[in-house]
Structure 1
Amino acid sequence: MTVTPRLAHFVLQTNQLPAMTQWYIDVLGAHVVYENPAMCFLTTDEEHHRVALFGPPGGGLPERTPATVGLAHTAFTFPTLGDLIDKYLQLRDKGIEPRVPVQHGVTTSLYYRDPDGNMVELQIDNFATPEESTDYMHGEEYTTDTIGPSFNPLALAEAYKAGVPESELTTRAWALKTEQINVMERMLTP
């Protein structure tokens, strides 16, 4: 029997340890399990830490750009569309706006940049099972455009509140009815 590992945590280096700590608390609802002047461990669940932030004494780490080689983003899944919308509205009220909202088809996603420019995706799965998601990914709509269109997250929140069915709101057809932005350009620029 082959045992497969599960993701335990990720570590980010930063010159802005306090700002990064607060951002991950706000965005993920994480809490600090350990910190000292050079590092902070945060978690969102039963794991002892899911996010580790390391700020070398004196800082001085070189800045990165969104278009450099390396990790593109981390992603966190919410149970329901309502939960994702609630988080969007909470963050918006704190002045944290998504950099890129994308209707991938397989997920409804809001991408944010943390204070250091790392991309964090907050998402919901648009299908009930992994098999349905995989089938969609092998279908024409996805293979024709693996990224998908943008959407207006406030319009999504308003439509959800107005009672538009989730089955409609989580489609590319609905997303295309909203104002569009260049998704890849927004992903690859600060």
Structure 2
Amino acid sequence: MSQPEKFPHRPRPVVAPKLHHATFLTLKLHEMVAWYEQVCGLTPVFYSEAGAWLTNDEANHRVALVAHPAIKKAVDKPISHGHHHTAFEYGTFQQWLDNYSRLKEQGIEPFMSLDHGLTMSLYYADPEGNGVEIQVDNFGDWDASKEWTWGSREFAENPIGNFFDPDKVVAAAESGLTFAEIHEKAYAGEYIPENPPADILLPEAY
């Protein structure tokens, strides 16, 4: 008769940890600190020549930037395996749209914009070419968007979604369309850019 396992297989923690922060090795510390404040509202809790720990909420930090003398420039970063982007989420469509307009006025524009079905997302590249997604949940409710992502045929058939021109979204909002109407049109491909990106790779100009 076989003996019961002393420690049965447990594929996941009973209480899961929450995602807290992302850390980057950097060759452009001061430029990176300034960019993340401008784009994401992150400000230093600690800042020295060795690195910076930044936050935009009650956490002690959400992004850490480490400037180590051994760091080397990445080779073929856009097509190298590993981290693609870090995402930040706005609570409302109008906040998200206002931030897009504010950044555009300062000459910072996304390299691609996608309606994924679950979110509308603007993708920027930081000073070292790391992707930064600024998103808004299309359902306004994580339980609802999680259920849709899990069970919808649309997402299963097209998990990336459709590219959109954010200026067309701004114009649609100014014309009086609601967030729900704009999302529906964007996801249906009605706001496709004149020159949509060929793929979702990061830009190469870094």
TM superposition score normalised by structure 2: 0.84
**Which residue number corresponds to residue 6 of structure 2?**
none
The match for 2:102 is 90
- What amino acid sits opposite 1:143 in the alignment? A
The answer to whether the Cα contact below 8 Å between 1:102 and 1:151 also exists between their aligned partners in 2 is: yes
More displaced, 81-90 or 179-188? 179-188
Q: Is the 8 A contact 1:98 1:113 kept in 2?
A: yes
Q: Is the 8 A contact 2:119 2:136 kept in 1?
A: yes
Question: What is residue 30 of structure 1 aligned with on the other side?
Answer: 42
Q: Which residue of 2 aligns with 1:169?
A: 182
Report the alpha carbon displacement of residue 33 of structure 1 after superposing the two structures with TM. Answer: 1.1
Which of 157, 182, 185 is residue 199 of structure 2 equivalent to? 185
The 3 A distance-change label for structure 1 pair 37 and 109 is same
Unaligned runs of 5+ in 2: 1-12
Looking at CA atoms only, which structure, 1 or 2, has the larger radius of gyration? Answer: 2
C-alpha distance 173-23 of structure 1, shift in aligned 2 (>3 A): closer
Aligned residue pair count: 189
Deviation at 1:185, TM superposition (A): 2.0
Among candidates 103, 123, 131, match of residue 111 of structure 1:
123
Work out whether residues 168 and 174 of structure 1, in 8 Å CA contact, stay in contact via their aligned partners in 2: no
**Partner of residue 61, structure 1:** 72
Cα distance 1:184–1:9, how it changes in 2: closer, same or farther (>3 A)?
farther
On the 8 A contact 1:169/1:175 being kept in 2, the answer is no
Change (3 A) 1:33 1:175: farther
Q: Specify whether residues 172 and 164 from structure 1 end up closer, same or farther in structure 2 by C-alpha distance, changes over 3 A only.
A: closer
Q: Distance in 1 between matches of 2:157 and 2:198?
A: 16
In structure 2, the residue matched to 1:132 is: 144
Contact 1:102 1:109 (8 Å CA) reproduced: yes
Measured against aligned partners, the alpha-carbon deviations of 1:56-111 in whole angstroms (never above 9, x if no partner) come to: 24x75122512211112111110011011111111111111101100001100001
Does the alignment pair 1:4 with 2:16? yes
Native 8 Å contact 1:30 1:42 kept in 2: yes
Matched residues in 1 for 2:188 and 2:79: separation? 26
**One-letter amino acid of the counterpart of residue 21, structure 1:** V
Percent identical among aligned pairs is 35
Between stretches 125-134 and 145-154, larger displacement belongs to 125-134
Q: RMSD of aligned C-alpha atoms?
A: 2.0
**CA 1:173–1:109: 2 relative to 1, 3 Å:** closer
Long gaps (5+) in structure 1: none
1:61 partner letter: K
Deviation at 1:128, TM superposition (A): 3.3
